[in-house]
Structure 1
Amino acid sequence: MPATRTLPSPEAVDLIELTRELAGKELAPRVAEAEAEEQFPREVFRTLGRAGLLSLPYPEEYGGGGQPYEIYLQVLEEIAAVWSSVAVGVSVHALSCYALAAFGTEEQKKEWLPDLLGGELLGAYCLSEAHAGSDPGAMRTRAVRDGDGYVLNGAKAWITHGGHADFYTIMARTSDDRSHGVSCFLVPADTPGLIADPPERKMGLTGSATATVRLENVRVPARRRIGEEGQGLAIAFAGLDRGRLGIAAVGVGLAQGALDHAVRYARERETFGRPIIDHQGLAFVLADMAAAVQSARATTLAAARLGDQGLPFGSEAAIAKLVATDNAMKVTTDAVQVLGGYGYTRDFPVERYMREAKVMQIFEGTNQIQRLIISRALKNHDRGHLRVRKQEH
């Protein structure tokens, strides 16, 4: 029961149909085995890249898809409904390209962005550290100026695609100033001294490699610094607003997949002579699941539309991430309940959905951090922005 969508153009309709086709033919047959065997599906990302799905929200002049976030997030949803590990990877890749696209010089963008967006390369985003997950200002990884470059030393934790990425967007401290002492670097994966530890052994998203990335005297030319020295945290926070929307969309898609499976099961499974969906107690559970998915989708797309129109959307992105991922946890838990004992076995995918949903409440800023962002925005709120949205024809 795929989501019903209102899309602004025939191109967007074609894009969603292409994504659904690829998800059904290329992702669905592989997901169960890859997750069970903890295999990183590198070739799947190449397939999506060749279809143009890794670069949707970036300008066409640099090789991107030129799509608004409103459309890109719905593509993420469609992927996540089938394979959350891959959808998270697409979101992380988009985030890893953001610093260069938004803060790079024209020369830097022309030189590197087409390759990053071309579909063959995969990116990773290195902000968190073991002691500084929710407090990036406390990072210890340092970049010391040395002649015409920098030497980086330190370790970045919980890095999606760690050990598999082709390039890393790395935040490192260039001074002791807590707020303005971090800078951003674009580092190729084959740079000497950049080393990935073995992947973490995780509860869910086992098809997504997550590893600590160590920097041991990694020499980076100064021209690979993105933005000004000390601008790194501003770059990181601007990117995280978009990254949170990506994870919100993944949460919506994951919940949609769990809902679809639960409804199919409830239509087929019979007790007391009739399908269990006909029993009001269970039907109401499914109705609440559907309401949670729909409300999360609406909240996420509303935030995306603000960003697409150039309006501030940081608080709205935090709300979307909070609502969508909390709802995904609830919906996937209820999906297990709908299937009863079968839902607790690995013979059915809903137990995997439930395990995958948990981390959605943790990465891209824990949901406690999202509440902090939202509450601070309320404290400083002055007035809303009014803008007429152009009608699409």
Structure 2
Amino acid sequence: MSDRRSFQAFHPFARLSRLLDSHPAGHDRPILLSIGEPKNQPPAFVTEEIAAAATKWSSYPPPRGTPQYNGACADWLTRRYGLPRGMIDPQRHVLPLPGSREGLFFAVLSAVQDHQGAAPPVVLMPNPFYHVYAGAAVAMSAEPVFVPATAETGFMPDYGALDPALLDRAVFCFLNSPANPQGAAADRGYLARLVALARRHDFIVAFDECYAEIYDTTPPAGVLEVVAESGGALDHVLAFHSLSKRSSAPGLRCGFAAGDPALIDKLDAALRVGGAGVSLPILAAGTRLWREEAHVEANRDYYRRNFALAERILGNRFGFRKPDGGFFLWLDVGDGEAAALKLWREAGVRVVPGGYMSEPGPDGVNPGARYIRVALVYDAATTEEGLNRIVEVLGDGVPEDGAPGDGTAAGRAAPQTAAAEG
């Protein structure tokens, strides 16, 4: 179990380095399938927009963005989620962010400031989880509560099953949909129940939707379309989006939060103290990216090809399933840490052990321990080679306590029946 006093203890890549860096790669051409960093490039017009706004590098980033950028974000939300025109006011409901990760971290800070109870505030998160969630909670002296998101729950956390007394202590809750690492997407019913639960127990939900545009055929549902269907009230709700995955521009550090105006104001206040902001040239490039869709569809085709390769090469191995969204495989190999070490030493393939992205539960079982996360971010030829190396080295998996890691039960997704409300 990680040291819950140290926010750095939850960083999976630091742990991965400790596991692998003392071992030479077992191939003269390593393939790094560990980091979810797009390898295809953003549109060329990004450079053009930044160059055209180059005289504005001398200005500090405007904390609330520009009318052009905020308007592009609001218009995109309206198109993508079929929202009523005018539901999202660009100046009241939208806040530019230097990437969704930074906004998520500061959103926890702004939420914890209002906590008045004697016991530490609680921050709820899925288990497995994106490391920023746990790091933010610990950095703010909050208590992270890890809620299983396993095959048995459709890879979605069942927050509604928690003790009501614990929910009353919660100030913040994370939901990543489509999820990193499992790729599961919450349906509308789940999202509606989670919003209702948050309002009943008075906590904020951060809907981390940064993978919402990477999917095969069915666009994942978003929280804003769900609240629109029930009248459009945005209290207790923040949705986070980014150009990192949608537009293959993680280095741009450009995204936004949208939701409850009071929460947007509090997040803005926190970012003004410790945040970097988004520069005017970057906002100019971001404005055009949010208004342009052709490159996004091209990105989806790029990942469709990779998942088709995975389906052909992996077949039924490791509990393979096509994710609802995102670009990760969540493979049951029996022992994720042993598999990651074996893949690096014998094949020069770097993957993340699932146990590095999750915490043991009260029963001592780490829900990610059997898995590895594989990022399908390279071109088709590199992806094919990487997947073939995985199959050649692992066969049917790495045994755990003598049992073959065939992914039969633990690796298959159950139907999404988990309720956010008990």
Q: Report the TM-score range of the alignment, normalised by the length of the smaller protein.
A: under 0.3
TM (norm. structure 2) is 0.23
Q: Which structure exhibits the higher relative contact order, with contacts defined as CA atoms closer than 8 Å and separated by 6 or more residues?
A: 2
Q: More helix per residue: 1 or 2?
A: 1
TM (norm. structure 1) is 0.24
